[in-house]
Amino acid sequence: MLFLWLYMFYSCAGSCAGLAARGSPAPPRAAPPLLPGEPGEESSLEEQRAAPDAGSPISSFFNGSGTKRLPQAIIIGVKKGGTRALLEFLRVHPDVRAVGAEPHFFDRNYERGLAWYRDLMPRTLEGQITMEKTPSYFVTKEAPARVSSMCGATKLIVVVRDPVTRAISDYTQTLSKRPDIPTFESLTFKNRTTGLIDTSWSAIQIGIYAKHLENWLLHFPLRQLLFVSGERLISDPAGELGRVQDFLGLKRIISDKHFYFNKTKGFPCLKKAEGSSKPHCLGKTKGRTHPDIDQEVVQRLRDFYRPFNMKFYQMTGQDFGWD
C-alpha cells in the first residue's frame, strides 16, 4: 500500500506540464520552414536520443535524483536579444534547472512528441522550476498553439532589444560564418533607391515585435508573458533578474553581488557560474564587434521600425526607449 500511495502522490504532483507529459501528445505536424537567413548559433539537439525514455516518477523518487518535467517557463525570444545571458544568469538560482542547448521542439522537432521533449529536461526536485530557451519560438507561427496545447499555464519570457541593433548583431553573427555574404545595406532593401525595406529577410522580420506578439496573445494572456530589456540586462542585470525572479515566483536570490562588468567584452559577467567557484563570461561568439553600417541606412531602419515599436510599447505597457 505504501508503494501504491507514493506512486499516486508523485504521479499527481506538479503542474499541468507533468500531466501533459503522461498524456497523448498533440498530433504530429511537419516542422515549419525556417525564416530566411542563418539558423541560431546555439548547440543543436539532433545528436541526442531519438527515442527517449519518458521516465517514471516513482523510480525517480527512489533514486533521489528528482523527476523530469516539462518546462513551466520558456524563454521564447528573441534571437540576438540577450537570451543566452538571461539563461546563464538564471541558472545561478538554486530553484531553477534549465536545458543548456536549445531544444527547438516547438519549431523544428515537434513531430518527435512530448516524451522526447521531456526527456531533454534536467531532473528537478519539488519546488524547482524547469526551463528552456529557444529564441526562434517567438517568430514561429505554430509555436504559440503548440506551447498552449502542452500547458496553457506556461510562463513565457521574451528578451527584446532595439530592433536596429538586433538586426546588425544578427548580420554580424552570419558574417562571422559566411564572410562572402552581401553587405548589410544591400540585404536591407528590396530597392535602395525607393527605400523599400526587405521584410522577408529574417534579420529585419524578427524585429517587428508587435506582429509576432499578436500571434502569442491569441493563445496566452498578457500576464503570462514577461518582457525583458536586452539593454537593461547589460546596464542593470540585477534589476532585470529581480523582475524575472518575481515573475517566476522565486525568492530574490540573484542580486548585484553576483555580477561584475567586463570592460573588454562590454557586458556583465558572473562572479561565480552555476556549479563553479570561478568567474564566468559568455563565450567569444558574444559581444562581437559590429561592422560599420551606413548611417543613412540605420536611420531608414529606425524610421521603418518606429510605428511597430510604438505599437509594441502600447501592447506591453512598457517603453523600451528605442526611439
Query: Do 189 and 43 meet the contact criterion of CB atoms below 8 Å apart?
Result: no
Instruction: Say whether pLDDT at 22 is over 60.
Output: no
Alpha helices in the chain (DSSP H): 2-12, 16-22, 57-63, 83-90, 114-120, 143-150, 163-177, 184-188, 202-205, 209-217, 230-235, 237-247, 295-316
Any known ligand binding at 83?
yes
List the Cα angle 108/113/116 in 5-degree steps: 90
Any known ligand binding at 249?
no
Q: What is the pLDDT of residue 195?
A: 84
Give me the helix-helix angle, 237-247 and 83-90, nearest 10°. 70
Residue 161: how many CB atoms within 10 A of its CB?
25
Q: What is the pLDDT of residue 293?
A: 94
175-229 pLDDT, tens digit per residue, is 989 999 999 999 999 988 888 999 999 999 999 999 999 999 999 999 999 999 9
Q: What is the pLDDT of residue 259?
A: 86
Q: What is the chain's mean pLDDT, rounded?
A: 82
296-311 pLDDT, tens digit per residue, is 999 999 999 999 999 9
Any known ligand binding at 154?
no
Any known ligand binding at 169?
yes
Q: Helix (H, G, I), strand (E, B), or coil: what is residue 274?
A: coil
Structural domains in the chain plus CATH codes: 67-163+206-289 (3.40.50.300)
The x, y and z cell numbers of residue 277, run together, are 567557484
Nearest CA to 226 out of 160, 166, 311 is that of: 160
Instruction: Say whether pLDDT at 42 is over 50.
Output: no
Cα gap 231→267, rounded to integer Å: 10
Question: In the annotation, is 79 catalytic?
Answer: no
Any known ligand binding at 40?
no
Instruction: Say whether pLDDT at 123 is over 80.
Output: yes
Nearest CA to 251 out of 86, 67, 127 is that of: 127
Query: Do 75 and 132 meet the contact criterion of CB atoms below 8 Å apart?
Result: yes
Tell me which of 80, 251, 265, 272 is the catalytic residue: 80
